[in-house]
Amino acid sequence: MPVMRPARPHYDTLMQRIRRRSSTTAETRDATHRPSAGAFASPWVQLRSARAHPFIFDRMISASDPAARPGDVVSVYDKSGRIFGRGLFNPRSRIALRMLTFDDTSVDEAFWRTRLAAAVELRRTLGLDRDTDAYRLVHAEGDRLSGLIVERYADCLVFEVFSLGTYQRLDLLSRLLTEQLGAPSRLDQPDRALSSWRIVVRADDRVEAMEGFRVPPPADRTAGRVTIREHGVRYWVDMAGGHKTGFFCDQRDNRLRFARCCAGAAVLDLCCYTGGFGLCAMLAGAAREVTSVDLDEAALSVARENAHLNRVRIEYVHADAFAYLRQMIANGRRFDRVVLDPPKLAATRTDLDAGLRKYHDLNALAVQVVRPGGLLLTCSCSGLVSREAFAEAVFRAARRAGRAVQVLGVGGAAPDHPVAPECPETAYLKAMWLSVT
């Protein structure tokens, strides 16, 4: 049976040492840690090391069934041959296994139906439909469905796919999910059921390259536009061309909380994307003025459309946040309320140190444009950055800028983004509320 090559340094040296061992040692090792023919339920994977986490990396696997194909559900065994669980297998990916169970539960159609039904029921329990028709229906590992995110936007479902196994089962998953949801309805016409859900599939280019699949581009990009409602504000969502799934539902509660602090205030929305915080501050918070800044021209174009859609006047600035803040500091311009919600600055572990430096530098500038007694809401959506590391970067930034801060609160994503205790990455969003003096 083939043994998967560990992805770690000094592989050749290690293999030379192993080959020098006697055949008796090898036979003993195999007898202890390898299955005899037919001992494992096929297809199977055996682990070199195990942890109660949905991600099993390639270096943690000692052997795999020759019959196991990329995307298969496999039975997973620990190094002593005991059943560890079942997961989606992809030997070409760095995340070679995405665990679905940590027992011997069968992963069949009934399994997927049960997991999706639980996710839908949780959102119904939260009562989201009272305030919005845009929310996360499936939060990947947070809903024990590793590799899958599903957002609901009005009568549309956007599937964001992170694994080959999930991509291969999209027809099944979309059928089961729409069965659980029933016919869609609009927030402004709750008693009028529409005929069917529209389905959009998204995947990041890097994920596609690593996992080995390709989502076909939509035949009609304009068909990927939809209007949603949140806290009385309307937004255009570009599901086909926008970042991630087109809108950031995770900040829903933070948008409203921030807006409630903005009555009569001059507001700065940095890295505004399609204008969520600024629009909510103006419409739900009665802000006096709002300036929204982003480097993405396409996102700003949608933000301007959103302002027209809601008949409000907002100043939109096409600029890099670093350069804009330096200019405001040079001009002596300050704001009553500032929200800083940058894109992910630490996407991988190799980016972590550089990402933390960027968070530090950006916050050191942002805190200087807050009027004394004003409020700064600063965020990080980098799952690899811990709350403690992010807080330390922000506090050091404030000290560097010579500003004193008080922590008014620390939060995260809205509750339709549940956190799995065994997967800290599901608590990816950090939001710190600071009073600045």
- pLDDT (mean) for 238-243: 87
Flag whether 335 is in a domain.
Answer: yes
Of 65, 83, 101, which marks where a domain is finished?
101
> Is pLDDT above 60 for 27?
no
Q: What is the CATH number of the domain that holds 275?
A: 3.40.50.150
Are residues 341 and 392 located together in one domain of the fold?
yes
Residue 310 lies in a domain: yes
Least confident of 36-40, 199-203, 268-272, 281-285: 36-40
Work out how many domains the chain is built from and give that number.
Answer: 3
User: Does pLDDT of 275 surpass 80?
Assistant: yes
Question: Same structural domain for residues 83 and 120?
Answer: no
For 359, other C-beta atoms within 10 Å of its C-beta total 26
Asked whether residue 293 is domain-assigned, the answer is yes
pLDDT category, 192, cuts 50, 70, 90? Answer: low
Is the predicted pLDDT of residue 34 greater than 60, yes or no?
Answer: no
State the pLDDT confidence band at 221, using cuts at 50, 70 and 90.
low
How do residues 142-161 score in pLDDT, each as one tens digit?
999 999 999 999 999 999 99
pLDDT at position 392 is 97
Tell me what pLDDT residue 189 has.
Answer: 64
Q: Please indicate, yes or no, whether residues 129 and 96 belong to a single structural domain of this protein.
A: no
Residue 85: CB atoms within 10 A of its CB come to 23
CA angle 412, 392, 435 (to 5 degrees): 65
**At 16, is the pLDDT very low, low, confident or very high (cuts 50, 70, 90)?**
very low
Catalytic annotation present for 381: yes
Q: Nearest CA to 203 among 249, 244, 145?
A: 244
Query: Residue 36: what pLDDT?
Result: 53
Picking from 43, 70, 101, the residue at the C-terminal end of a domain is 101
Q: Are 381 and 343 in contact (CB under 8 A)?
A: yes
How confident is the prediction for the chain on average, in pLDDT?
90
Listing DSSP states for 148-217 in one string gives EEEEEETTEEEEEE--HHHHHTHHHHHHHHHHHH-S-EETTEEEEE-S--EEEEE--HHHHHHHT--PPP
What's the rounded Cα separation, in Å, for the pair 190 and 433?
35
149 and 182 fall within a common domain: yes
Map residue 29 onto helix, strand or coil: helix
Average confidence (pLDDT) over 55-69: 95
Out of 156, 262, 381, 423, the active site residue is: 381
Poorest-confidence range of 1-5, 34-38, 178-182, 320-324?
1-5
Is pLDDT at 22 greater than 70 in this prediction?
A: no
Core vs surface per residue 232-263: b (16+ CB within 10 A) or e: ebbbbbbbbebbbbbbbbbbbbbbbbbbebbe
* CATH of residue 27: 2.30.130.10
Mean pLDDT confidence for 275-286: 97
Q: Are residues 32 and 66 in the same domain?
A: yes
Q: Could you tell me if 89 and 124 lie in one domain?
A: no
The partner residues of 229 in beta bridges, in order of sequence, read 234
175 shares a domain with 60: no
d(CA 86, CA 92) in angstroms, rounded, equals 18
Asked if residue 197 belongs to a domain, the reply is yes
Based on the fold, state whether residues 293 and 420 are members of the same structural domain. Answer: yes
Question: Residues 287-317: pLDDT tens digits?
Answer: 999 999 999 999 999 999 999 999 999 999 9
- Pick the range with the lowest mean pLDDT from 128-132, 209-213, 399-403: 128-132
CB 61 within 8 A of CB 79: no
Residue with tokens 């496999």: 74
Identify whether 391 is part of a domain.
yes
Residue whose entry in the numeric block shows the structure tokens 């055996």? 46
Domain that holds residue 113: 109-220
For position 167, which CATH number holds? 3.30.750.80
Rounded to an integer, the average pLDDT of 80-91 is 96
Q: Output 373 or 191, whichever has higher pLDDT.
A: 373
Let me know whether 401 and 262 are in one domain.
yes
What percentage of the chain carries pLDDT values higher than 90? 81
Regarding whether 135 and 275 lie in a shared domain, the answer is: no
Domain boundary (48, 79, 101) is at 101
pLDDT for the residue numbered 96: 97
SS3 288: coil
**266 and 415 co-located in one domain:** yes
- Alpha carbons 374 and 426: distance in angstroms, whole number: 31
Give a yes or no: residue 230 inside a domain.
no
Would you say residue 4 lies in a domain? Answer: no
Same domain, yes or no: 324 and 388 = yes
Instruction: With respect to residue 256, please indicate whether it lies within any of the assigned structural domains.
Output: yes
pLDDT above 70 for 31: no
Residue type, 122: L
